[in-house]
Amino acid sequence: MLTRAPKGTKDILPSESYSWQYVEEKIRQIARLYGYREIRTPIFEHTDLFVRSVGDTTDIVQKEMFTFEDKGKRSITLKPEGTAGVVRAYIEHSLYAEPQPIKVYYITPCFRHERPQAGRQRQFNQFGVEVFGGKEASLDAEIISLAVKLFDSLAIKGLKVNLNSIGCPDCRGPYHEKIKEYLGDNINSLCKSCSDRYEKNPLRILDCKEEGCKALIAGIPLILDNLCDECKDHFDQVKAFLDAKGIDYQINPLIVRGLDYYTKTVFEIISDSLGAQSTVCGGGRYDGLVEECGGPKTPGIGFAIGLERLMMILEAQKAIDIVEEPMDIYIATIGDMARLKASDLISVLRKKGISADMDHVGRSIKAQFKYAGKQGYKFVCTIGENELTTGDLRIKNMKEGKEDSIRIESLLDYLIKQLGGSSND
């Protein structure tokens, strides 16, 4: 057991991490382009925060949270999603007193105790954005645009934006009664989860994945036909802004999302590369969440993207060739004095932003060259007794296969020129 990762967790090895770094840098670039700043919140919070914000009718709260008591007998939960912690930070640090809107993003690990499957682990990673203090439909369209922009930058194909509105408390109350009336005598045919939802939050029945429940709601009245005037107008504006941005979307009146805090706009971005686990991005408005958690009345909106699923799509589509940047130079050495000289040179090169290394495991000179070739170094040179005596060394461009003869003291200037001015001067 000591040499096996816990069920539902996955190591990201050095041979894979550069792909993650590439995607994360794309995320940061696009977030900055849209004016979003990074926020980092703890990986655990007080359990009540998630019960209150995510909702006690959700599968997350009922079945999936990693909850424990700390030494002070306080109930603590590893965060199952990113929004609640950001809302807590927004309230605790009085960010509502700053000029609005507050636009933030995060890349964070999350934890859910569910059955591990492709693209869904018990520890997984989310990229999310949250915006507080803006009620205009232009923000709804903006965050959808941001997600689409990210996928476009990664050359991902076959994505569809599914859009819906689930209204506000004013129009949802009467709609809940219509759901109950429609289900009528079929209440006993609902699954156990939906039987609980029937009383607490019947809208969530539309999100059920059980085939029996899907069949029961096949002809159910649609929320879009039961929106109040304000929600209908907001939804029309969202569509108008998306049209203005040239973003294709389709209306899906059965999207309600799996969290209780959503209001008005909800959306999902679906991939045709993931099989059953097709949703790669989901989000929407939560105009009552900040107030529900103890803050002032504040509109909010956001989305989250599961990075494991995103990486699966990239691998499946092979849309872009993510290549790890090789190290700049490997200095092969013969003898103890050469090792000391190489160590000194490497320190100088690294100070100037040039990646460099040497042998640290006692390889023969032949094995050192073989290692440098396998690792893909851009340049390789050798320092031995002869090079120390004459001050000359041969340096090989591994990609082009050509060699140059230079003075040892000119190595830094030579590499700066060859690498296109990569020093940090």
Per-residue confidence in pLDDT tens, the chain, 425 aa:
688 999 999 999 998 999 999 999 999 999 999 999 999 999 999 999 998 888 766 667 777 899 999 999 999 999 999 999 999 999 999 999 999 999 999 999 999 998 877 767 999 999 999 999 999 999 999 999 999 999 999 999 999 999 999 999 899 889 888 888 888 777 888 888 888 788 778 888 887 878 888 888 888 889 999 999 999 999 999 999 999 999 999 999 988 876 778 899 999 999 887 665 588 999 999 999 999 999 999 999 999 999 999 999 998 888 677 888 899 999 999 999 999 999 999 999 999 999 999 999 999 999 999 999 999 999 999 999 999 999 999 999 999 999 999 999 999 999 999 998 544 44
Length of the chain: 425
Residue-level pLDDT at 421: 57
The answer to whether residues 333 and 280 belong to one domain is no
Domain that holds residue 408: 329-418
Is 19 a member of any domain?
Answer: yes
Residue-level pLDDT at 154: 94
The answer to whether residues 270 and 372 belong to one domain is no
> Is residue 258 classed exposed, middle or buried when 0-12, 13-18 and 19+ CB atoms within 10 A define those classes?
middle
Indicate the SS3 state at residue 253. coil
Q: What is the pTM of this model?
A: 0.88
Integer angstrom CA distances of residue 253 from 10, 203, 269, 340: 35, 11, 14, 70
Integer angstrom CA distances of residue 89 from 31, 95, 162: 19, 8, 30
Residue-level pLDDT at 424: 47
Question: Looking at 274, 294, 317, which one is the last position of a domain?
Answer: 317
CB proximity list for 218: less than 8 A, separation 6 or greater: none
| Helix intervals (H) in 217-306 | 229-244, 289-292
Closest among 314, 415, 359 to 18, alpha carbons compared: 314
Indicate the SS3 state at residue 145. helix
Instruction: Return the structure tokens found at 6.
Output: 């816990």
What's the longest Cα–Cα distance across the chain?
Answer: 96
Is 132 a member of any domain?
Answer: yes
b/e for 245-257, b at 16 or more Cβ within 10 A? eebebeebbebbb
Question: Looking at 293, 317, 341, which one is the last position of a domain?
Answer: 317
CATH number at residue 340: 3.40.50.800
Residue-level pLDDT at 172: 86
Checking DSSP bridges between strand 300-306 and strand 279-285, what pairing results, if any? antiparallel
Instruction: Return the structure tokens found at 226.
Output: 């039961």
Residue-level pLDDT at 144: 98
Residue-level pLDDT at 277: 57
Residue-level pLDDT at 295: 96
CB proximity list for 66: less than 8 A, separation 6 or greater: 77, 78, 80, 111, 112, 113, 122
Is 408 a member of any domain?
Answer: yes
Is 286 a member of any domain?
Answer: yes
| Cβ atoms of residues 304 and 83 within 8 Å | yes
> Is residue 47 classed exposed, middle or buried when 0-12, 13-18 and 19+ CB atoms within 10 A define those classes?
middle
The answer to whether residues 67 and 125 belong to one domain is yes
